[in-house]
Amino acid sequence: MTNNTNKDNKEIFDVCIVGAGPGGSSTAFYLAKQGKNIVLLDKEKFPRRKICGDAISQRAQIHLERMGVLQEILDEGKGHYSAVGGLVSPRRITYIDNSAEELGSHLIMSIKREIMDEKMVRAAVREGAKLIEEYNVKEVKFLKNKKFWEVKSFNKEQGIIKAKVLIAADGATSKISRSLGILDSPPEAVCSSVYIQAGTHQYKDDGVCLYTQDIVPGYLALFKEADGDVVFCCYIIPGGRYKSEDLQHVHQLFLTGEPYVAEALGPKAKIEPMKSGPLRLGGVKKSYAKNFLIVGDAAGHIDPLTGEGIQYAMDAGEIAAKTLEEAFEKEDFSERILKVYQKRWMKSFGKDFKWSSRMVRVLAKVPIFLDAFAYLCNKKGVKYLLKWATIMTGSEPKLNFFKPNLALPLLLAVVRLKLIKNQKS
Ligand SMILES: Cc1cc2nc3c(=O)[nH]c(=O)nc-3n(C[C@H](O)[C@H](O)[C@H](O)COP(=O)(O)OP(=O)(O)OC[C@H]3O[C@@H](n4cnc5c(N)ncnc54)[C@H](O)[C@@H]3O)c2cc1C
């Protein structure tokens, strides 16, 4: 890995990727595999901390496997499979069970992003991509007469990078896409994250989501890491009582006041100060322009229902690489050719996000669906929990929530819970 370029660099790369998170490094990996000449830039030096809940879904694990990273992480004992988990509903109906035995695999693995992102970057480099660290992109410009991009760093000493195609994989705020006028709005959601030090807490489960009253459609999550630390996150998703600016207050409120969390942490928990990051949800309307693509959080590739984006950033990276392979064959990087990228990711996961958004609106108004779900899990057992979890983690489409075998018992349970509530009051 390197942090400098030749100042008088005459090389014109096929593709320059700004941002070496899961979106950027998977794109670099898949493009380098085709034999393309790739440069991957990041303002940080790896390994670097990335604020996250570290929940890596099966869909993301597939990419890690292809990149030769999953086994390495397992061999080094740096991934923790979530076997025992579940949910706590707004009315505090709780269902926690071992789903791994029933499933024969694990839907989620916790991997600290500091570890996973570095391994992914190294995989891209092994495949032939050139990585330049501590290259903080200040400005990008497409030279129409020369048909390539010029990319400049805040540090002039690092020289100018030239490339035929530019990819913005620079995270939710995506200054690159905004500077080009392709994105015109800030991210709409936020999430906090803290590590609770191993040996100081008393958390027994592996991963639990808490839809505490008032925070829905957002939620809280607790996941155990391979090193024994626990990560706590508080997702504020628009549509509920709380707004992004309430994050600090809400995070603290639930970290200390939510009964399941308080019990899991215990009296001696060593908790680091709160950190947070923005979430751009649901996919942007346009993620392409002439000689240009947007990948991952920058393109809003985050599920509006869960705030999860790692798997979609990786999927988008693969789709971007495939689209560019065809564009390079034709030597045509026009909007007409590159808009296929948008169509493909919409088909792969973007349409699903539309259902997520609808469900967010419903849950914000009728949180009793979550109570009904937890109630049914208690009645029907772990198989029912798994149906919910496979859909929530993106292994199955959201539309499956509306299949009669899931939806009908849920509606009946809602009626039942309403009756119980009316009888009590
Ligand atoms: C608190 C929190 C918890 C989350 N929990 C989960 C979870 O548990 N599971 C899940 O699936 N998703 C989770 N997400 C979402 C997940 O973090 C993102 O979807 C994922 O990181 C997207 O990857 P990316 O590569 O698109 O962007 P990023 O991971 O943000 O990477 C962007 C990269 O670009 C670099 N960069 C930015 N600007 C420049 C520049 N000007 N020049 C050079 N480099 C630049 C950055 O340094 C960074 O390395 C969470 C998000 C937050 C904020």
pLDDT at 102: 82
CATH number for position 126: 3.50.50.60
Residue whose CB lies within 8 A of the most ligand 1 atoms, among 132, 297, 349, 393, for a mutation test: 297
Residues 295 and 408 in one domain: no
Has residue 271 been placed in a domain?
yes
pTM: 0.96
For ligand 1, the distance from its centroid to the CA atom of residue 21, given in whole angstroms, is 6
> Are 218 and 253 members of one domain?
yes
In a domain, residue 6? The reply is: no
CATH at 99: 3.30.9
Residue 210 and residue 275 in one domain: yes
Ligand 1: nearest atom to the Cα of 276: 1
Q: What distance in angstroms lies between residue 23's CA and the mean position of ligand 1's atoms?
A: 8
Dihedral angle over CA of 182, 185, 189, 195, nearest 10: 60
DSSP designation for 346: I
**Per the domain annotation, does 340 fall within a domain?**
yes
Shortest-distance Cα residue to atom 29 of ligand 1: 21
Residue 1 domain flag: no
Select from 333, 328, 282 the least CA-distant residue to 305.
Answer: 282
pLDDT at 5: 53
137 Cα–ligand 1 center, Å: 16
**b vs e for 17-31, b when ≥16 Cβ sit within 10 Å of the residue's Cβ?**
bbbbbbbbbbbbbbb
Q: How far apart are CA 128 and CA 202, in angstroms?
A: 44
CA dihedral 45, 30, 310, 343 (to 10 degrees): 130
Identify the segments of the chain with pLDDT beneath 50.
1, 3-4
Residues within 6 Å of ligand 1 by CB:
18-24, 41-44, 50-55, 135-137, 169-171, 175, 191-193, 233, 277, 279, 296-298, 302, 307-311, 313
The backbone region for 304, taken as left when phi is positive above 0, alpha when psi lies in -120 to 50, beta otherwise, is: alpha
Question: Ligand 1: which atom is nearest the Cα of residue 275?
Answer: 1
Q: Are 394 and 262 contained in the same domain?
A: no
Which string of b and e fits 198-215 if b means at least 16 CB within 10 Å?
Answer: eebbebebbbbbbbbeeb
Look at residues 304, 330, 358 and tell me which one is the last residue of a structural domain. 358
| pLDDT for residue 250 | 97
Q: Quick one: what percent of the chain has pLDDT higher than 90?
A: 90
Residue 76 located in a structural domain: no
Q: What pLDDT does 138 receive? A: 97
**Structural domain total, the chain:** 3
The token pair at 146 is 């020369």
**Under 8 Å between Cβ of 200 and 283:** no
For residue 50, the CA-to-ligand 1 centroid distance in Å is 7
DSSP secondary structure, 104-154, as one string: SS-SEEEE-HHHHHHHHHHHHHHTTPEEETT--EEEEEEETTTTEEEEEES
What is the span of the domain harbouring residue 373?
366-424
Q: Which atom of ligand 1 is nearest to the CA of 301?
A: 19
pLDDT digits 0-9 by tens, 143-153? 999 999 999 99
- The 8-class DSSP code of residue 198 comes to T
* Residue 55 β-bridge partners: 110
Are 306 and 174 found together in one domain?
yes
Q: Is residue 24 part of a domain?
A: yes
pLDDT of res. 122? 98
The pLDDT tens digits for 192-202 are: 999 999 999 99
Strand order in the sheet with 108-111: 55-57, 108-111, 79-81
Q: How far is CA 373 from the centre of its chain?
A: 24
Ligand 1 geometric centre to CA of 352 (Å): 21
